[in-house]
């Protein structure tokens, strides 16, 4: 009898799949199509358990859909541009391109042994010129349709590295790499006009039925629609050109509670005043330097600077309000100016208290409430309140009604107009970096910024660059920069900025439908394969990547690259949890934690001891895998030790897929034992004759129940539940005294039900038992409804809601007969003690409850 040897059988069956080319996706009207996609990885060089879990989930879906008669597209690629490649080049002197392609080769080599059902013929990396050249074509088409424009924008500039930094690369106001004080610089940059689609992207969220509610909510909040009033205060004796201050408010109903006007330090009026007032300029400078981290904002005091100017209240021109420059007002939201209503805004309250400004309540909880407030009164807008300084609508009304009434009143009286604002801002795509998709623009002295001619695409990144000098190497590469103007032919210069890497990932799903087309997409292929039926990835992409992709699909539709049916590209989204692992740590001599590798630790009685000296160390459970904490489990090691089927099964078995799963060595070993056991049972079954045995029918009934349970588990992403049922069915099969024929049938079905999770083992068993062809091509088993009906059922008997007994009855026994039977039970007779039951509830096939 052969023993289970994953290394042999996994290589064998991967070769067989490859030989039969079973995962190649070909358009066909013979079957319904199904497109399953996992978020493609950044080629860091090593895969981790999180990847294994992500791709296994996608693979289970893909293999299940193949078995249920679908034409499946399951591609894989690489999100290959980005800063780590440049950082590596700077650190070790290599080239980003070489580094990236080497990493891709390494990661692919690690992924192949997992036995994923991927159509590798569609593989691409976003740093392939064939891909980013098409992205440049998209850029040119978007530009022509007005979906891209240029404007000045403030960036974080690192003066030592001579580069722009993302917000998260600025730590305490200093560059994360150089440590230099970061400057705010205005650069002319390219923007996608995603704000054109704010309303559309928001309302379409409702149609995303198979997206997690959480992700939809996060996107709604991010788009941030608000309804309010925009109006202006007349400025008294303002500097030349400044006679009004425009403000935006979502609470125009509190206009009579105004006590000051606040403007951002970046507001044009503030900038004007800075020119003549050094103290004021110093204050604004101070505000701009203020940290942007959450903790700093939390701590930061409300600070203001009295400009000495005043404005007139729109309802009463004799009522003047002071104008402050305040550190808490943002220039890029609304108009960069507010009116302060301390009674109904906690920030304004803090500010007014500090600077001795009046606090005027405009509404109160009820007519008798004390108008002297000790803190801002901010009820829900849906709550009814009593207006003591209202000017529109009923005296008692909800905030919502009052806002509507106030907007109507103001519009009727020529004080501003109602406006809808969105928090979502246009997407700046310029990056002053080498390792990204070049922006296909040429700057010509005569013609200005001109798009490159499409026949000149791709504009390839030059290879001969170095990173020993700070700054973008494209800037100092004359032969690459210098070119002819595509419009007039005169000497001109290329744009040296490259695109944000989020652009690369915003349309790769569409490119997979025709990865080698000479245009960004092939419309016939896109129409056939789109949308992605099931998208799987991490929750960390809930906002940016998914929102950008939704925008891109619309923009591609507008420019003729995607059909109307594909504007919402992902029909269903699933966000999976992480793989975690315990940390083993002790406290070092300096008081800092010291971390130990799992291999250095022995576990006994839920305690951990160092193998080296036997001393006990602390166990911190369920921590995100992190190299610095020494709690990373390398998939290579696991595959070498147990094989892919064990790894795949384990990452799905212990937790629901949307939640984190804890990797434990004991759990992985137990999985391996189980898989080995299934293999052993199969070899035993294969050796049996075909004679009937005891309980053939029972085994087959259990088999049909397993088909039903596992199928519904896989359909609903309940992989852990499906696996639990497979454990149960395996135990039933192992214990069964059924004959060879029934066992063989049950074993074949078990192999099929396991095949999405353990495809190699399933092929092995399938062949061992004489199955036809490959199990990957075998149709998914269907449960026979007749075999699911039970003859007898066990019903619990409750007395006053507490379980006291149970009876076994025929499944189709009428209700009144069940009642009779129950009332005759000793325990019931004793409980009733001669009295009649107050109530008798019989739920057929479920439960009986007697109320006494």
Partner RNA sequence: GGCCGUGUGGUGGAAUGGUAGACACGAGGGAUUCAAAAUCCCUUGCUUUAACGGGCGUGCCGGUUCGAGUCCGGCCACGGCUACCA
Q: Decide: is 302 part of the binding site for RNA (CB under 7 A).
A: yes
Site stretch for RNA (CB under 7 A), options 99-107, 237-245, 328-336, 382-390: 328-336
| Neighbouring C-beta atoms of residue 403, cutoff 10 Å | 24
Considering the rule CB under 7 A, would residue 802 count as an interface residue with RNA? yes
Shortest CB 502 distance to RNA, Å: 14
If binding is defined by CB under 7 A, does position 389 make contact with RNA? no
662 binds RNA (CB under 7 A): yes
Q: Is 581 near RNA (CB under 7 A)? A: no
Which of 151, 550, 170 is closest to 332 using CA atoms? 151
In the complex, the smallest distance separating the C-beta of residue 218 from RNA, rounded to whole angstroms, is 5
Nearer to RNA, 367 or 843 (CB): 843
Strands (E) across 403-472 are located at 417-422, 427-428, 430-431, 441-444, 448-451
Judged by CB under 7 A, the stretch of 41-49, 61-69, 693-701, 839-847 that binds RNA is 839-847
Q: How far is CA 322 from CA 123, 336, 357, 372, 695, in A?
A: 63, 16, 9, 22, 91
Coil, strand or helix at 123: coil
Minimum CB–partner distance for residue 724 and RNA (Å) = 3
Among 44, 173, 38, CA closest to 116: 38
Q: Taking the complex as a whole, how short is the minimal distance between the CB of residue 262 and RNA, in angstroms?
A: 8
Q: Give the one residue of 38, 86, 345, 763 binding RNA; rule: CB under 7 A.
A: 345
Q: For tokens 């309010």, name the residue.
A: 228
d(CA 464, CA 480): 10
Question: Residue 721, class by beta-carbon neighbours within 10 Å (0-12 exposed, 13-18 middle, 19+ buried)?
Answer: middle
Draw the binding track, 432-471, toward RNA (x: CB under 7 A; -: no contact).
----------------------------------------
Q: Is 168 a residue that touches RNA (CB under 7 A)?
A: no
Residues of this chain, 407-426, that bind RNA according to CB under 7 A: 423
All residues at 6 or more sequence positions from 218 whose CB lies less than 8 Å from its CB, including other chains: 542, 543
Instruction: Yes or no: say if 189 and 155 are a contact pair by the CB < 8 Å rule.
Output: yes
Interface with RNA, residue 798, by CB under 7 A: yes
Which residues 707-726 are close enough to bind RNA by CB under 7 A? 718, 720-721, 723-724
Shortest spacing between CB 233 and RNA, in angstroms: 14
Least distance to RNA, CB of residue 229, Å: 8
Q: How far is CA 294 from CA 114, 219, 355, in A?
A: 41, 21, 25
Q: How far apart are CB 539 and RNA at their closest, in Å?
A: 7
Q: How far apart are CA 48 and CA 111, in angstroms?
A: 10
Q: 768 to 797, contacts with RNA by CB under 7 A?
A: 794, 796
Residues 6+ apart with CB under 8 A from 365: 377, 379, 385, 386
Candidates 588, 621, 690, 773: give the one binding RNA (CB under 7 A).
Answer: 621
By CB under 7 A, the count of residues binding RNA is: 85
Q: Which is nearer to RNA, 777 or 800 (CB)?
A: 800
Considering beta carbons, is residue 25 or 542 the nearer one to RNA? Answer: 542
Residue from the set 615, 666, 772, 833 that interacts with RNA by CB under 7 A:
666
Other CB atoms within 10 A of residue 481 CB: 17
166 binds RNA (CB under 7 A): no
| Distance set, CA 348 to CA 18, 295, 356 (Å) | 67, 20, 12
CB 335 → RNA: shortest distance, Å? 7
Helix axes 665-686, 740-754, angle to 10 degrees: 140
Query: Which of helix, strand or coil describes residue 149?
Result: strand
C-alpha span between 435 and 132 (Å, rounded)? 12
Closest contact distance (angstroms) between CB of 574 and RNA is 14
Segments in 605-739 forming alpha helices (H) = 635-642, 644-653, 665-686, 696-715, 719-735
**Phi-psi label, residue 333: left if phi above 0, alpha if psi -120 to 50, beta otherwise:** beta
Which part of the chain contacts RNA (CB under 7 A), choosing from 94-102, 107-115, 602-610, 750-758?
602-610
169 interacts with RNA by CB under 7 A: no
**What DSSP state is assigned to residue 466?**
-
- Cis-peptide, bond into residue 712, ω within 30° of zero: no
Nearer to RNA, 214 or 490 (CB): 214
Among 727, 788, 814, 830, binds RNA (CB under 7 A): 727
354 is an interface residue for RNA by CB under 7 A: no
Q: Which residues pair with 661 in a beta bridge?
A: 579
Q: Choose which of 413, 519, 694, 800 interacts with RNA (CB under 7 A).
A: 800
Q: Which is nearer to RNA, 437 or 582 (CB)?
A: 582
User: Based on CB atoms, which residue is closest to RNA, 281 or 847?
Assistant: 847
731 binding RNA? (CB under 7 A)? yes
664 near RNA, rule: CB under 7 A: yes
Among 161, 806, 821, 823, contact with RNA (rule: CB under 7 A):
806
Candidate residues 801, 816, 826, 834; the one interacting with RNA per rule CB under 7 A: 801
Q: Which of 170, 527, 670, 787 is the binder for RNA (CB under 7 A)?
A: 670
3-state per-residue secondary structure call for 127-142: CCHHHHHHHHHHHHHH
* Residue 60 CB-half CA count within 13 A: 29
Q: Rounded to an integer, what distance in angstroms lies between the CA atom of residue 180 and that of residue 174?
A: 5
Contact map string, positions 622 to 661, toward RNA, x by CB under 7 A: x------------------------------xxxx--xxx
For RNA, the binding residues in 487-516 under the rule CB under 7 A are none
Judged by beta carbon, residue 187 or residue 539, the one nearer RNA is 539
Is the CB of 67 or the CB of 337 nearer to RNA? 337
Cβ 485 to RNA shortest distance, Å? 40
Q: Which of 841, 693, 665, 469 is nearest to 49 (CA)?
A: 665
| d(C-alpha 412, C-alpha 406), whole Å | 10
Cα Rg of the chain (Å, integer): 34
Q: Are 123 and 41 in contact (CB under 8 A)?
A: no
Spatial distance between the Cα atoms of 841 and 852, rounded to a whole number of angstroms: 12
* Stretch touching RNA by CB under 7 A, among 155-163, 611-619, 665-673, 774-782: 665-673
Instruction: Out of 90, 804, 819, 832, name the contact with RNA by CB under 7 A.
Output: 804
Report 191-250 residues binding RNA (CB under 7 A).
213-214, 217-218, 221, 224, 226, 228, 248-250
Piece of the chain touching RNA by CB under 7 A; list 85-93, 672-680, 686-694, 738-746: 672-680
Q: Specify the residue, 114 or 229, whose C-beta has the smaller distance to RNA.
A: 229
SS3 6: helix
Burial class of residue 766 in the structure, from the number of CB atoms within 10 Å of its CB (0-12 exposed, 13-18 middle, 19+ buried): buried
Q: How far is the CB of 818 from RNA (least distance, A)?
A: 14
Q: Which of 236, 373, 450, 539 binds RNA (CB under 7 A)?
A: 539
Single residue of 20, 160, 166, 841 touching RNA by CB under 7 A: 841
Residue 321 interacts with RNA (CB under 7 A): yes or no? no
Contact between 224 and 330 under an 8 Å Cβ cutoff? The reply is no
- As given in the structure block, the two tokens for residue 740 are 């060879």
- Minimum CB separation of residue 418 from RNA in Å reads 12
Helix (H, G, I), strand (E, B) or coil at 656: coil
- Decide: helix, strand or coil at residue 126: coil
Cβ closer to RNA: 161 or 350?
Answer: 350
Number of neighbours of residue 621 by Cβ within 10 angstroms: 10
Q: Which of residues 84-113 bind RNA (CB under 7 A)?
A: none
Touching RNA, residues 244-263 (CB under 7 A): 248-251
Select from 11, 91, 188, 300 the one that contacts RNA (CB under 7 A).
300
Q: Half-sphere exposure of residue 577, counting CA atoms within 13 Å on the CB side?
A: 20
* Contact call for residue 735 and RNA (CB under 7 A): yes
């Amino acid at each position: 009898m052969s023993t289970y040897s994953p290394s042999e059988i996994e290589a064998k069956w991967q070769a067989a799949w490859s030989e039969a080319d079973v995962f190649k996706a070909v358009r066909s009207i013979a079957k319904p199509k199904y497109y399953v996609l996992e978020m493609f990885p950044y080629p860091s060089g090593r895969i981790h358990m999180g990847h294994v879990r992500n791709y296994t989930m996608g693979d289970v879906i893909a293999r299940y859909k193949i078995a249920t008669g679908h034409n499946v597209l399951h591609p894989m690629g690489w999100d290959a541009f980005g800063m780590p490649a440049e950082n590596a080049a700077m650190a070790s002197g290599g080239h980003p391109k070489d580094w990236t392609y080497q990493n891709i080769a390494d990661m692919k080599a690690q992924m192949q042994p997992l036995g994923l059902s991927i159509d590798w013929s569609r593989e691409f990396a976003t740093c392939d010129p064939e891909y980013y050249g098409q992205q440049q074509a998209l850029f040119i088409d978007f530009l022509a349709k007005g979906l891209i424009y240029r404007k000045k924008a403030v960036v974080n500039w690192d003066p030592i590295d001579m580069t722009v930094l993302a917000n998260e690369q600025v730590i305490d106001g200093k560059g994360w790499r150089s440590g230099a004080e970061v400057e705010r610089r205005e650069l002319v940059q390219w923007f996608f006009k995603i704000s054109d689609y704010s309303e559309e992207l928001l309302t379409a969220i409702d149609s995303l039925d198979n997206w997690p509610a959480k992700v939809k909510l996060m996107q709604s909040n991010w788009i941030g629609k608000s309804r309010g009033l925009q109006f202006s205060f007349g400025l008294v004796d303002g500097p030349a050109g400044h006679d009004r201050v425009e403000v935006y408010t979502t609470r125009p109903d509190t206009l009579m509670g105004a006590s000051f006007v606040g403007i951002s330090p970046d507001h044009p009026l503030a900038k004007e005043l800075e020119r003549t007032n050094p103290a004021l300029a110093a204050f604004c400078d101070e505000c701009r330097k203020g940290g942007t981290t959450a903790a700093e904002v939390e701590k930061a005091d409300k600070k203001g600077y009295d400009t000495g100017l005043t404005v007139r209240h729109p309802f009463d021109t004799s009522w003047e309000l002071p104008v402050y420059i305040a550190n808490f007002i943002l220039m890029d939201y609304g108009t960069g100016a507010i009116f302060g209503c301390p009674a109904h805004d906690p920030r304004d309250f803090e500010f007014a208290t500090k600077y001795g400004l009046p606090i005027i309540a405009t509404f109160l909880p009820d007519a008798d409430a004390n108008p002297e407030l000790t803190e801002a009164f901010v009820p829900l807008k849906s709550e009814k309140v009593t207006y003591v300084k209202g000017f529109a609508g009923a005296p008692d009304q909800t905030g919502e009604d009052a806002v509507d009434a106030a907007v109507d009143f103001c519009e009727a009286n020529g004080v501003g107009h109602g406006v809808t604002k969105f928090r979502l801002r246009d997407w700046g795509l310029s990056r002053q970096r080498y390792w990204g998709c070049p922006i296909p623009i040429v700057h010509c002295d005569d013609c200005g910024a001109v798009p490159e001619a499409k026949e000149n695409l791709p504009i390839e990144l030059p290879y001969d660059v170095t990173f020993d000098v700070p700054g973008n190497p494209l800037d100092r590469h004359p032969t690459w920069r210098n070119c002819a103007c595509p419009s007039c032919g005169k000497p001109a210069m290329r744009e040296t900025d490259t695109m944000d890497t989020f652009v690369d990932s915003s349309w790769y799903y569409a490119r997979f439908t025709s990865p080698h087309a000479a245009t960004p997409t092939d419309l016939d292929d896109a129409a056939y394969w789109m949308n992605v039926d099931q998208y799987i990835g991490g929750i960390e992409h809930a906002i940016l990547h998914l929102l950008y992709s939704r925008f891109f699909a619309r923009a591609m539709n507008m420019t003729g690259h995607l059909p109307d049916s594909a504007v919402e590209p992902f029909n269903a989204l699933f966000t999976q949890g992480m793989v975690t692992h315990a940390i083993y740590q002790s406290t070092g001599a300096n008081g800092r934690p010291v971390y130990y590798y799992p291999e250095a630790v022995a576990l006994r009685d839920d305690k951990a001891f160092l193998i080296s000296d036997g001393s006990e160390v602390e166990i911190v459970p369920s921590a995100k895998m992190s190299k610095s904490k020494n709690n990373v489990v390398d998939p290579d090691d696991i595959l070498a030790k147990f094989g892919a089927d064990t790894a795949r099964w384990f990452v799905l078995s212990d937790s629901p897929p949307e939640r984190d799963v804890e990797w434990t060595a004991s759990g992985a070993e137990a999985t391996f034992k189980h898989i080995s056991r299934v293999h052993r049972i199969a070899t035993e079954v294969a050796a049996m004759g075909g004679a009937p045995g005891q309980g053939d029918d029972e085994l087959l009934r259990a088999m049909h129940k397993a088909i039903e349970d596992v199928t519904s588990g896989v359909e609903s992403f309940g992989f852990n539940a499906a696996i639990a049922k497979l454990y149960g069915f395996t135990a039933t099969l192992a214990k069964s005294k059924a004959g060879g024929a029934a066992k063989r049938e049950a074993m074949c079905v078990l192999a099929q039900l396991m095949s999405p999770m353990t495809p190699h083992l399933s092929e092995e068993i399938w062949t061992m038992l004489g199955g036809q062809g490959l199990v990957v091509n075998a149709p998914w088993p269907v449960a026979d409804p007749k075999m699911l009906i039970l003859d007898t059922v066990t019903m619990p008997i409750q007395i006053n809601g507490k379980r006291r007994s149970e009876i076994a009855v025929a499944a189709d026994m009428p209700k009144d007969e069940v009642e009779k039977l129950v009332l005759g039970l000793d325990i019931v007779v004793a409980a009733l003690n001669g009295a009649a039951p107050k109530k008798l509830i019989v739920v057929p096939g479920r439960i009986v409850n007697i109320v006494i």
